């Protein structure tokens, strides 16, 4: 079974600080790596995503860094705000076979940004 491991499980950051969430995957049969943000009682929403031929993607305060050789990718939230407090999930999309098109999710990180 393909796996995506996410850390840390929870993260507390002061307002204005940098939040960093890490993910690692175990095989190379993935072709798309999205991050989702989920607020309590709501469904996850796509935040930012990257393809494996790119090492970094930035959208506003959110940046994905991707290290293909290490099979790792991370989400950086610059100038973290209390409104960023949510659960974040990394994911990886299957590139072929029975896993084609399916997302495998990490375990989630609960981010709390203190004012």
Partner 1 sequence: DGGITQSPKYLFRKEGQNVTLSCEQNLNHDAMYWYRQDPGQGLRLIYYSQIVNDFQKGDIAEGYSVSREKKESFPLTVTSAQKNPTAFYLCASSIWSRTGKSGYTFGSGTRLTVV
* Positions in the binding site for partner 1 (CB under 8 A): 1, 6, 9, 32, 34, 36, 41-46, 49, 89, 93, 98, 101-103, 105-108
- How far apart are CB 35 and partner 1 at their closest, in Å? 10
Assess contact for 4 and 90: CB atoms under 8 A: yes
CB of 56 to partner 1, least distance (A): 19
Cα 25 to Cα 10: distance, rounded to the nearest angstrom: 19
Residue nearer to partner 1 on the CB measure, 77 or 88: 88
Q: Would you say 24 and 80 are in contact if contact means Cβ atoms under 8 Å apart?
A: no
Residue 8 or 16: the one with the smaller Cβ distance to partner 1 is 8
CB of 71 to partner 1, least distance (A): 18
Write the CB contacts of 82 (distance below 8 Å, at least 6 apart in sequence): 15, 113, 114, 115
Smallest distance from the beta carbon of 15 to partner 1, in angstroms? Answer: 26
C-alpha closest to that of 23 among 81, 66, 63, 83: 66
């Amino acid at each position: 079974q393909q796996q995506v491991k996410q850390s840390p499980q929870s993260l507390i950051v002061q307002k204005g600080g940098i939040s960093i969430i890490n993910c690692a995957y175990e095989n190379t049969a993935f072709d798309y790596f999205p991050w989702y943000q989920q607020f309590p009682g709501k469904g996850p929403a796509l935040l930012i995503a990257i393809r494996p031929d790119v090492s970094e993607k930035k959208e506003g305060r959110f940046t994905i860094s991707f290290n293909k050789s290490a099979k790792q990718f991370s989400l950086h939230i610059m100038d973290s705000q209390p409104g960023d407090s949510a659960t974040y999930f990394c994911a990886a999309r299957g590139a072929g076979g029975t896993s084609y098109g399916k997302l495998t999710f990490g375990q989630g990180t609960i981010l709390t940004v203190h004012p």
